[in-house]
Amino acid sequence: MADEVREPDHEGEPEAPAPPRPVEDRPSDEVAAALCDRFADAIFFESHGQSVVYLDRAHLADAGGYLRDDEQFTMCVDVTAVDHLVDGVRHAAPGVAPERFEVVANFLSHTRNRRIRLICEVPESDPSVPSLTGVYPGTDFAEREVFDLFGIRFDGHPDLTRILMPDDWVGHPLRKDDPSARVPVTFKGDPRPR
């Protein structure tokens, strides 16, 4: 299904298979290897025994569709994001061009009983990624939460509204430049505007 709906304007051209990598360069994990073959810019990284694939943000939904349809990753367990604005040591896999934000999606295959994690670097100038809701409807709330708390847009999400904060809230609380205690506590009967 994901093969048909793939956007034509993505850079990297996932339609045309990239030239196969040298054997010694291929990741030991077969799913990660398949992802790396399919998406030319994908980088495999083993993080404390877990398979992580960094890939271009344009391919996030395509990679999700591939994982679901071809690799039996039945469930997208979690979608979240990280703001790396003030990191001491910026953690990223070798070869990844770090950006301010990272969108992280964890997948679980019930049939193969294994997990994989996709990470996309998202620049501050254009914080948006394609939505996974078309492939995994269960990411609905999670993507709304990331939008609400980080201000990262999910293109194609059916109802991208704030979920935890009030609708008229200004700012995105989990960004590092949105410090806690920015809004003073209002007490009952306080004449000042909220």
Partner 1 sequence: MSDELAGVTDPNVLDPSEDAIAEPIGSQEAAADHPFHRVPADEARLERQTGEGAQELRTREREIVMTGGTWPVDELGDTMVINMGPQHPSTHGVLRIMMELDSEEVVRAKAIIGYLHTGMEKTGEELTYVQGATNVTRMDYASPLSNELVYATAVERLLDLEVPERATWMRMMLVELNRISSHLLFQATNGMDIGAVSMIIYGWREREEVLRLLESITGLRMNHDYIRVGGVAADLPDGWREHVLNTMDIVEAGVAEYDALLSENPIWLERTVGIGAITTEECIALSITGPILRSTGFAWDLRKAQPYLAYDDVDFDVIFTENGDVFDRYRIRLYEILESVKIVRQCVANMPGGDYRVQDRKVTPPPRARIDESMEALIHHFKLFTEGFKVPAGETYTAVESPRGEIGCYMVSDGSGKPVRMHIRGPSFYNLQAMGPMVRNSLVADAVAIVSSIDPILGEVDR
Per CB under 8 A, residues contacting partner 1 are 47-50, 52, 74-78, 80, 82-84, 87-91, 104, 106, 110, 113, 115, 117, 136-142, 145, 149, 162-166, 173-174, 180
Q: Are 61 and 135 in contact (CB under 8 A)?
A: yes
Query: In degrees rounded to 5, what are phi and psi of residue 24?
Result: -70, -15
The residue among 19 and 49 lying less far from partner 1, judged by its C-beta, is 49
Q: Where are the alpha helices (DSSP H) in 48-139?
A: 60-71
> In the complex, what is the shortest distance from the CB of residue 34 to partner 1, in angstroms, rounded to a whole number?
21
Minimum gap (Å) between residue 61 Cβ and partner 1: 15
The residue (of 74 and 128) whose beta carbon lies closer to partner 1 is 74
Distant-in-sequence, close-in-space partners of 103: CB < 8 Å, separation ≥ 6:
57, 60, 79, 80, 81, 119, 120, 122, 129, 146, 152
Q: Are 119 and 104 in contact (CB under 8 A)?
A: yes
CB count in 10 Å sphere of residue 178:
15
Q: Which one, 17 or 137, has the nearer CB to partner 1?
A: 137
Task: For the CB of residue 140, give the shortest distance to partner 1 in the complex, in Å.
Answer: 6
- CB-wise, 40 or 105, nearer to partner 1? 105
In contact, 144 and 161? CB cutoff 8 Å = yes
Work out how close the CB of 143 gets to partner 1 at its nearest, in angstroms, rounded to a whole number. 11
Residue 163 CA, chain-centre distance (Å), reads 18
Report the alpha-carbon angle 159-165-166, nearest 5: 85
Nearer to partner 1, 106 or 131 (CB): 106
Closest contact distance (angstroms) between CB of 124 and partner 1 is 16
C-beta of 64: minimal distance to partner 1 in Å? 12
Nearer to partner 1, 109 or 128 (CB): 109
